Amino acid sequence: MKNLIKICMSISLLFLLASCTQQKTTQPNIVVIYLDDLGYGDLSSYGATELQTPNIDALAEGGVKFTNGYATSATCTPSRYALLTGVYPWRNKKAKILPGSAPLIISTEQETLPKMLKRAGYQTAIVGKWHLGLGTGNVDWNAHIAPGPNEVGFESAYILAATQDRVPTVYIKDGYVDGLDPKDPISVNYQKNFEGEPTGRENPELLTMKWHHGHNASIVNGIPRIGYMKGGDAAKWSDVDMADHFLKKAQEYVRVHKDKPFFLYYALQQPHVPRTPHPRFVGKSGMGPRGDVIVEADWCIGEFMKTLEEEGILDNTLIIFSSDNGPVLNDGYYDDAVEKIGNHKPAGELRGGKYSLFEAGARVPFVTYWKGKIQPGISDALVCQIDFLASLANLVGEEAEQGDSQDMLDVLLGKSDKGRENLIIEANSRTAFRAGDWVMIPPYKGKTINEKVNIELGNDPNYQLYNLKDDISQQQNQAESNPEKLKQLLAEFEEIRGKNYSDVKELKLK
């Protein structure tokens, strides 16, 4: 009898272990595909008629396409900070557009999405744009650069430090400049140039791309950049090959790490300036380089999806697709983005764009796809990238320090249409409040339009209140005609934001 009991117990234990092993191996891979400056109306699946994006459309048609999906900010660094930390960027004064030499703005002690997933047994990697700072200040680009992505949860990191229009124009692999010749060390300075180095401002004859504003310092590959750089010639990237380069790194990661659950943050650089499509895509859109690099990005995503399928892991991979902020045409270079826009509307029906508190600043394309697990559909639920931390923690059964992140897993998986009740959105340290169908923008001083990029910023000395259900283009300010709703939203906003949020000293409700 005792032997029988022992045998039964052993069998039960084996079944339990097998069950645990099966549960572990069936954890889904998680891929976040993140574009840079892609607008709400830049995809054919979101209404674009002049651009065709069949591969991204396939994700939208095969998954959940969100009509109320948001980044937290209308600019890049703050949105990326919120995505990885689950914390509103306005809580961190350093979460602003960073120079390429800025120190890391995520504390190494802070909870992050990759840290949480590592605790759950995931392999973690980033390929592409970082733009959250590196080191602690005064980075030595010729030695190990830390802290960076590896110190906040990414086991593997292949990145560009900031943006492709900023120096240093090199790739960084796990804290080391990739391909650096130690005999040709890199120097970077954002204040003054190095003696004898040409610049876009002083040497226009060396340029293959003309600068419009701001981008007139060091010249790399004929393109003037923000900031000054000397040395590192062997390590400098080829702009026209960047999309292919990052795609190859993402594909390699999948092939090598496919046997265990992985989290890949694939942060493409398109359609941020300078827009440098590979010759294969030049002229494909008929809209100049901006349209061409969107077509190029769509191709890259299609090739990446093929890799998942070829490696037999597509059915067990959750894909989240989105953008860090809304669109901008002329963002520092003359590249025909304005001249060749034609009938295309990068923001769709939305008002504003990158840098703006209006809807086109932070409302972006937002798609979740999981073949066989997510039923295709369109959702009007209010969702935000800040919720990835709490939602994915629920998915993998891990605890997380959620901060401002909310568990929206059922919404992301298409099982519920009950999204967020409210959301604070940000643009250049200014904040606004979305609640239900309403959005409230407090008074702010400053220009109403950024003339350099020709985008309305949302600044107004008076309160603004819009019903997005009836007025998605934000043409009818109801602040005066609906004072009760304004007071309600303001109270809810200040409960989260506090009262020190506006540069208008006397905020008066009429």
Phi, psi torsion values for 383, nearest 5 degrees: -130, 155
Count of domains observed in the chain? 3
Radius of gyration, alpha carbons of the chain: 23
356 assigned to some structural domain? yes
CA–CA separation, 117 and 113 (whole Å) = 6
* 322 found inside a domain: yes
Is 398 domain-assigned?
yes
- Taking only the tens place, the pLDDT of each residue in 443-484 is 999 999 999 999 999 999 999 999 999 999 999 999 999 999
228 neighbors 218 (Cβ within 8 angstroms) = yes
Position 38 scores a pLDDT of: 98
105 shares a domain with 70: yes
CB atoms within 10 A of CB 76: 26
pLDDT at 1: 52
Q: What percent of the chain has pLDDT over 70?
A: 94
The verdict on 280 and 427 lying in the same domain is no
197 — pLDDT class (breaks 50, 70, 90) = very high
| Structure confidence at residue 454 (pLDDT) | 96
What's the rounded Cα separation, in Å, for the pair 425 and 439? 10
502 found inside a domain:
no
Claim to verify: residue 406 and residue 309 sit in the same structural domain: yes
Residue 508 lies in a domain: no
Distance CA 289, CA 292 (A): 5
Both 475 and 412 in one domain: the answer is: no
133 located within any domain: yes
Same domain membership, residue 318 and residue 279: yes
Concatenated DSSP letters of 269-324: -TTSSS----TTTTTSSSSHHHHHHHHHHHHHHHHHHHHHHHTT-GGGEEEEEEES
Residue 51 contacts residue 295 (beta carbons within 8 Å): yes
Whose tokens are 């009007």? That residue is 380
Any residues with CB less than 8 A from the CB of 387 and at least 6 apart, and which? 86, 405, 406, 407, 408, 412, 420
Q: Indicate if 157 and 202 belong to the same structural domain.
A: no
Residue 506: inside a domain, yes or no? no
Distance CA 83, CA 434 (A): 18
- Band the pLDDT of 23: cuts 50, 70, 90: very low
DSSP per residue, 214-259: S--SBEETTEE-BSEEE--GGGBPPGGGHHHHHHHHHHHHHHHHTT
- The stretch 51-72 carries a mean pLDDT of 98
Q: Which of 368, 401, 422 is the last residue of a domain?
A: 422
Residue 9 lies in a domain: no
Model confidence band, residue 503 (pLDDT cutoffs 50, 70, 90) = confident
Is the pLDDT at 12 greater than 60, yes or no? no
Provide the 8-state DSSP code for 28: P
> Is the pLDDT assigned to residue 204 strictly greater than 60?
yes
Q: What pLDDT is attached to residue 502?
A: 87
Buried b (16+ CB within 10 A) or exposed e, 261-282: bbbbbbbbbbbbbbbbbbeebe
- The domain in which residue 205 lies consists of 187-230
Place of tokens 């937290």: 72
| Statement to judge: residues 431 and 389 lie in one domain | no
167 and 255 assigned to the same domain? yes
- Give pLDDT, residue 424: 98
Say yes or no to pLDDT of 9 above 70.
no
- For residues 127 and 243, membership in a common domain is answered with yes
DSSP letter at 89 equals G
Percentages helix, strand, coil for the chain, rounded to the nearest 5?
Answer: 30, 20, 50
According to DSSP, the β-strands at 262-267 and 123-129 are parallel
pLDDT in tens, 167-182: 999 999 999 999 999 9
pTM over cut 0.85: yes
Whether residues 305 and 441 share a domain: the answer is no
Where does the pLDDT of residue 295 fall: very low under 50, low under 70, confident under 90, or very high at 90 and above? Answer: very high
Sorted by sequence, the CB contacts under 8 Å of residue 146 that are 6+ apart come out as 134, 135, 175
The CATH number assigned to the domain holding 432 equals 3.30.1120.10
What φ, ψ does residue 191 adopt, rounded to 5°? -110, -45
Give the number of residues written for the chain.
Answer: 510
- Residues 510 and 506: their CA atoms lie apart, in Å, by 12
Do 216 and 339 lie in one domain? The reply is: no
Domain match, 74 and 144 both: yes
Q: How many CB atoms lie within 10 A of CB 1?
A: 5
Beta-strand relationship, 176-177 and 187-189: unpaired
Mean pLDDT of the chain: 95
CATH value at residue 158: 3.40.720.10
Confidence of residue 19 (pLDDT cuts 50, 70, 90): very low
Angstrom CA distances, 189 to 139, 195, 333, 502, stand at 10, 12, 21, 33
